[in-house]
Amino acid sequence: MQKCMIGCMEWSDLRIFLAVAREGTLGAAARRLGQTQPTMGRRIRALEAAVGQTLFQRTRDGFVLTDEGAAVLRHAERMEEEAIAFERQLAGEGAGLDGLLRVSSSDWFGVHVLAPLFAPFLKAHPRITIELLTESRLLSLARREADLVFRIRPFDEPEIIQRKAMHMDYALYAAPGTPPPVLGDGAGAALVTMDAAFGELPDVLWLRRLLPHAHVAFRSNNREAQAQLTAAGAGFAVLPRPLGDRMPGLELVDVGEPPPGRDVWVGYHRDLRRLARLRALLDATLEGLAEGASSP
């Protein structure tokens, strides 16, 4: 098997193998790579024929690695690391202001904060393409799933260069005309807040402390959905001010103390530190964020 691993395996088939191993189904793997399920299935069968082993157990719930598949996975991941490192090195030496940049952020931050800043940048640099990925999962900078990532938690990977992009204030909002809540109680008030998985976020804990007896009317991990429900009169919500201040139909509720704010961090892989188009976009975006923070 070791000899065939060197002479028989195609890197394109190993990319498909890795996607199926990580996603667990052909459908999810096909969506990840932008291919069709029949093509994915055919390439997996070709790979199994090449190595002479069954790499996946097919079950009702999806594809599960066999012991032989797990052994191939270790080799494939090392090959992937080397291939991606080579791509990063080549990309990092690019000096021209053209090409693709993948940027990842939360959904509302991408729509309401980043997209308006990207528009003038793209007008000034028409040969650059920005791909904005707004996903709840954290994309990997090491695997080039994204080139720039904006998030509210610092990065802990040693190969990631990071800096604080901005401090983001939060505030309490309601629809205009909503009676103010009774602080320290909240009985009779309705809340629009994060779902249970995010129940320990600082702003969620602040709202629970401020209005402990309020009824939770709506939960969502989508801040823009919270803003829309709040504007429709569903209750009180703590929202990031870059979202809440721009959303029609929302009114800031002054309760004497603001919710805790959060820092926004931006990170990129150190191999891309000399990539001219990345530096240009990062500088323009940070400048725009700084101008926005200083605006009244």
List of domains in the chain: 2-92 (1.10.10.10), 99-168+263-294 (3.40.190.10), 170-260 (3.40.190.10)
Burial class of residue 256 (count of CB atoms within 10 Å of its CB; 0-12, 13-18, 19+) = exposed
Which one-letter DSSP state was computed for residue 110?
Answer: I
How confident is residue 172, by pLDDT bands cut at 50, 70 and 90?
Answer: very high
Give pLDDT, residue 2.
Answer: 45
Give pLDDT, residue 275.
Answer: 87
**100-131: pLDDT as tens digits:** 899 999 999 999 999 999 999 999 999 999 99
**102-119: burial string, b at 16+ Cβ within 10 Å, e else:** bbbbbbbbbebbbeebbe
Distance CA 174, CA 68 (A): 57
Name the percent of the chain in helix, strand, coil, to the closest 5.
45, 20, 35
pTM surpassing 0.75? no
28 against 140, higher pLDDT: 28
How confident is residue 89, by pLDDT bands cut at 50, 70 and 90?
Answer: low
The per-residue pLDDT of the chain, averaged, comes to 86
The CA–CA distances, whole Å, from 222 to 110, 195, 262, 295 equal 12, 9, 17, 26
Report the percentage of the chain scoring pLDDT > 90: 50
pLDDT surpassing 60 at residue 8: no
Q: Please name the residue ranges forming H helices in the chain.
A: 2-7, 11-23, 26-33, 37-51, 67-92, 107-109, 115-124, 202-210, 223-231, 241-244, 276-294
How confident is residue 296, by pLDDT bands cut at 50, 70 and 90?
Answer: very low
Give pLDDT, residue 98.
Answer: 83
Q: Mean pLDDT across the stretch 11-32?
A: 87
How confident is residue 60, by pLDDT bands cut at 50, 70 and 90?
Answer: confident
